[in-house]
Amino acid sequence: MFRMKRLAVLLITALALSLLAVGEAVAGGGNFPAFPPDLGFALFDTSDGITAVIVLDPNGPDPTSGLPSTPTGTFGTITVTRPRQGDTAAATAAAAFQVQPESSLGGLRFGCNLLLTNSRFVEFAPGVPGVPLGGGAIPGFFENWLPSDVTTKLLNQLFSPGTPPGFPGISSVISQKCVPFPKKRHTLDFMPFNEILEHRHIRPLPPTYPDRTIIDPLTGLPVTDPMSQWFPGFLVLKVNIGLWE
């Protein structure tokens, strides 16, 4: 069970580690995925009871520089769990990732705006769930925000290698919330090498996070439409996962 008070710190830790694994974290590029039934995938099977917890800094690339809008923007972690199946033990797989460009998440201009979760992560259209996480074994058609090699790695840990019955898409949201960015006065506890840091009396500070409030160019004031507003914080999303077959 995640402890909400530690999630921001854990995310920063995971994202720092993911930068070391840059080959996995930033591999490939994606486009909004094709609709699976158009390519012969008629069944979206949710019977396995697979769930995922996604922790993401949903602040995308600055349109001018192309760099993330915050120190950890576009980086996240995903933990996928497949319940016990018959005599098979429950399985959990986790990975760090960087959101792929031109995905269903768009430019992540609106940060942790929970009103946009369905259109970003879940639905092709209202009431039509199953947007793929990423390409998996079928890159090109179903690439999305999760790099294809990461999708394949997760599936191979949840199923016997080479035997996943389909590729994953999000069927519904179980819960979602925004975890506040760490404050300047806080320190990063629970970090790797804590014993070394404490021995040296070092208390590392978190990076600072800018205010990305969207201003209406006509009025010079923050926009008022809730669907077009920027919200600060890390997105913590628990979802049900189905498999397109």
* Alpha-carbon separation of residue 236 from 93, 115, 160, 201, 218 (angstroms): 17, 14, 29, 32, 33
Q: What is the pLDDT of residue 46?
A: 92
Per-range mean pLDDT, top range of 26-30, 43-47, 183-187, 196-200: 43-47
Q: What is the pLDDT of residues 25-52, one digit of tens each?
A: 333 333 578 899 998 888 999 988 999 9
CA-wise closest residue to 11 among 182, 152, 196 = 182
**Is 65 in a helix, a strand, or coil?**
coil
Report the Cα 61 to chain-centroid distance in Å: 15
Q: What's the residue count for the chain?
A: 245
**Is 207 in a helix, a strand, or coil?**
coil
- 101 vs 131: which has the higher pLDDT: 131
- Residues whose CB falls within 8 Å of the CB of residue 42, separated by 6 or more in sequence, listed in order: 245
Helix, strand, coil % (nearest 5) of the chain? 20, 25, 50
- Residue 80 in this model has a pLDDT that exceeds 80: yes
Main-chain phi, psi angles of 70, to 5 degrees: -135, 165
- Residue 184 in this model has a pLDDT that exceeds 80: no
Q: What is the pLDDT of residues 209-243, one digit of tens each?
A: 888 999 999 999 999 999 999 999 999 999 999 99
pTM: 0.80
Q: Which two tokens stand for residue 19?
A: 């930068």
Q: Which two tokens stand for residue 198?
A: 């404490």
The residue to which tokens 């960087």 are assigned: 98
- Residue 113 in this model has a pLDDT that exceeds 90: yes
- Residue 5 in this model has a pLDDT that exceeds 80: no
* Alpha-carbon separation of residue 18 from 26, 177, 223 (angstroms): 9, 23, 34
Q: What is the pLDDT of residue 2?
A: 46
> How far, in Å, CA of 228 to CA of 231, rounded?
10
- Residue 186 in this model has a pLDDT that exceeds 60: no
> How far, in Å, CA of 150 to CA of 138, rounded?
13
- Residue 187 in this model has a pLDDT that exceeds 80: no
- 89 vs 76: which has the higher pLDDT: 76
> How far, in Å, CA of 77 to CA of 17, rounded?
11
Q: What is the pLDDT of residue 183?
A: 72
Average pLDDT, the chain: 79
- 7 vs 157: which has the higher pLDDT: 157
Q: What is the pLDDT of residue 132?
A: 94
Counting DSSP H helices and E strands in the chain, the numbers are: 5, 7
Report the Cα 52 to chain-centroid distance in Å: 10
